[in-house]
């Protein structure tokens, strides 16, 4: 009888520990998600911001075939669909566009290609005879899992600087966010994240994700 009671007690403890473990997994932790990209600089910013929401994100190098579209949302949705088809895990991708008013929104959805071809100096050359230098930086975060496929956007207004500054990556050395006299590059990653288009998009995603998945888990 005594041995049977001890056995039941041990079994009860094991069951309680097992229950506590799964409770912590299901209720206190968010799922791990993938950031599919070739851009580790983007990942560094995304990782720093999402960890404030306790969202575990992992970088997976993935190069997509970018479609030609005038809409960032369409490009991001296609990227995430292609990435999910190959990776098979819940993931996000991010696409950005720099829309310069005096250039009629150029380079817009073609920002990545334009940066690779003419670079920041090429943008400044196009603005040499322009007096209006206002611009908008837009970020689209696309999320894809087995059930949902959606986008989250974020915008930051600003101006294009007259010179290329130090610091940052991409268009950071020539974009001055509204309310600042410094470019993204000069601000540094922490200050940049306080005002950036990417942060606005990530915040919209993270609030939605936390509300919908903080008590769910896929295995």
Calculate Rg over the CA atoms of the chain.
22
Distance CA 1, CA 15 (A): 21
Asked if 108 and 58 count as a contact pair (C-beta separation under 8 A), the reply is no
Asked if 48 and 198 count as a contact pair (C-beta separation under 8 A), the reply is no
The distance of Cα 190 from the centroid of its chain, to the nearest Å, equals 15
Task: Give ∠ CA 56-212-206 in degrees, rounded to 5.
Answer: 50
Would you state the structure tokens that stand for residue 2, as one six-digit string? 């005594």
Sign of the CA dihedral running 119, 143, 140, 197: negative
Count the neighbouring beta carbons within 10 Å of the beta carbon of residue 116: 8
CA-nearest of 104, 164, 162, 171 to 129 is 162
In sequence order, the 6+-apart residues with CB closer than 8 A to the CB of 49 are 193, 198, 199, 202, 203, 206
Active site residue 56: no
Distance CA 219, CA 213 (A): 13
Task: Give me the catalytic one of 95, 101, 125, 172.
Answer: 95
What are 99's strand-pairing partners?
A: 107, 136
Catalytic residue IDs: 95
């Amino acid at each position: 009888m005594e041995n049977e009671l001890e056995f039941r007690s041990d079994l009860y403890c094991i069951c309680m520990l097992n229950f506590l473990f799964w409770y912590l997994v299901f209720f206190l932790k968010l799922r791990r998600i993938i950031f599919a990209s070739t851009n580790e600089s983007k990942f560094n910013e995304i990782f720093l911001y999402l960890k404030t929401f306790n969202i575990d994100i992992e970088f997976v190098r993935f190069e997509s075939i970018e479609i030609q579209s005038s809409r960032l949302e369409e490009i991001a949705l296609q990227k995430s669909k292609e990435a999910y088809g190959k990776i098979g895990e819940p993931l996000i991708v991010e696409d950005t566009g720099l829309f310069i008013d005096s250039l009629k929104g150029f380079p817009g959805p073609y920002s990545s290609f334009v940066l690779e071809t003419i670079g920041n100096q090429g943008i400044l050359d196009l603005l040499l005879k322009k007096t209006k230098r206002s611009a908008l930086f837009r970020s689209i975060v696309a999320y894809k899992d087995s059930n949902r496929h959606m986008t989250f956007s974020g915008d930051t207004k600003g101006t294009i600087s007259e010179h290329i500054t130090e610091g940052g990556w991409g268009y950071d050395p020539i974009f001055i966010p509204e309310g600042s006299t410094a470019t993204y590059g000069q601000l540094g990653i922490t200050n940049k994240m306080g005002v950036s288009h990417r942060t606005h998009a990530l915040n919209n995603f993270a609030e939605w994700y936390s509300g919908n998945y903080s008590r769910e888990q896929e295995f």
